[in-house]
Amino acid sequence: MPLDTSSAYPLALLRVDGRRWNDLRRLHAAVRTQAAADGSAYLEMGNTKVMCTVTGPSEENKRRTAASTATGNTGGAGGGAGAGGAEVAVEIVVGGFSSVDRKRRGRGDKRIHELQTTLSKALAAALHTHLYPRSTIALSLHVLSQDGSLLAALLNASTLALVDAGIPMSDLPVACTAGLTSAASAADDPLVDLNAQEEQELPFLTLATLGDTDRVMVLVLETRVQAARLKDMVDLAADACKSVHKSLREVVRRRGEHMVEEGAVEKGASMAMDMDIDV
């Protein structure tokens, strides 16, 4: 990975795409991309491009009553439903054109199912689902291009779309990846926001936190790493999540300003979701 091997400071080395170890990729996000859906968002983390639409809260499907449990231990990919709170149903479609080689993934793919369950459980914990008993909040995610950090991008896009739909939540869930290089010379160097090539070769984890805190919503680690390095990776990812959080808040704030300009919302009118303008 490092281009410059003769430097005395390993952390100054550049990665394949010219970033330093703690540079996030270009995060571009747009909210309300689809007028027809209740909430929608489009997010790019570097070359990973994800679209998300939210429909709901809407009336519960009759067939759900047969398989509803309070914690979603059995049944389909849905969070707590029924009298307890709204169910968060997540559906992910990965386009066959999204990766370098064209590969068509069926609906029954267990990896996709795992992603759906993860997102559904994570969002069910962050959203105020108790306000909408017996309803369903349906999220539909489409992956247009994959270049690493897929779960993180999906979660960030879902967050924006849910904010756009106006569904109350305690804080913004944000996610990011962090990894370690195994540089031959020095100890492992940290890396943040890995792309596909780095993900294939290096140990990395995806971490999702709630807002600005250090409370972990999702942690997924699928590669082998020494136990002692786990703490470093988690700290790294938590810091990266804070940067992502700042960017997402900025996106939401700009959207709010735009809505005020348009006249969709009266300036100064108090809303359920107060905007605080950072100074």
Query: Would you say 136 and 81 are in contact if contact means Cβ atoms under 8 Å apart?
Result: yes
Residue with Cβ nearer another protein (35 or 228): 228
DSSP-based three-state secondary structure for 143: strand
Residue with Cβ nearer another protein (7 or 65): 65
Residue with tokens 């410059």: 4
Residues 77-116, interacting with another protein (CB under 8 A)? 77, 83, 110-111, 113-114
Confirm or reject binding of residue 117 to another protein (CB under 8 A).
Answer: yes
Q: How far is the CB of 242 from another protein (least distance, A)?
A: 12
Both tokens of residue 118? 């993860």
Both tokens of residue 28? 């571009």
Q: How far is the CB of 35 from another protein (least distance, A)?
A: 30
Q: How far is the CB of 250 from another protein (least distance, A)?
A: 23
Question: How many residues in the chain?
Answer: 279
| Interface segment toward another protein; rule CB under 8 A; list 160-168, 187-195, 232-240, 264-272 | 232-240
Residues 126-145, interacting with another protein (CB under 8 A)? 126
Q: How far is the CB of 107 from another protein (least distance, A)?
A: 12
Confirm or reject binding of residue 251 to another protein (CB under 8 A).
Answer: no
Residue with tokens 């609906």: 107
Confirm or reject binding of residue 220 to another protein (CB under 8 A).
Answer: yes
Spatial separation of the C-alpha atoms in residues 112 and 93, rounded to whole Å: 8
Q: How far is the CB of 225 from another protein (least distance, A)?
A: 5
Among 218, 244, 248, 251, binds another protein (CB under 8 A): 218
Buried b (16+ CB within 10 A) or exposed e, 172-194: bbbbbbbbbbeeeeeebbbbbbb
Among 238, 259, 260, 275, binds another protein (CB under 8 A): 238
- Burial (CB count within 10 angstroms: exposed 0-12, middle 13-18, buried 19+), residue 239: middle
Spatial separation of the C-alpha atoms in residues 56 and 40, rounded to whole Å: 12
Both tokens of residue 268? 């100064």
* Residues found near another protein in the complex (CB under 8 A): 66-67, 69-77, 83, 110-111, 113-114, 117-126, 205, 209-210, 213-228, 230-231, 234-235, 238
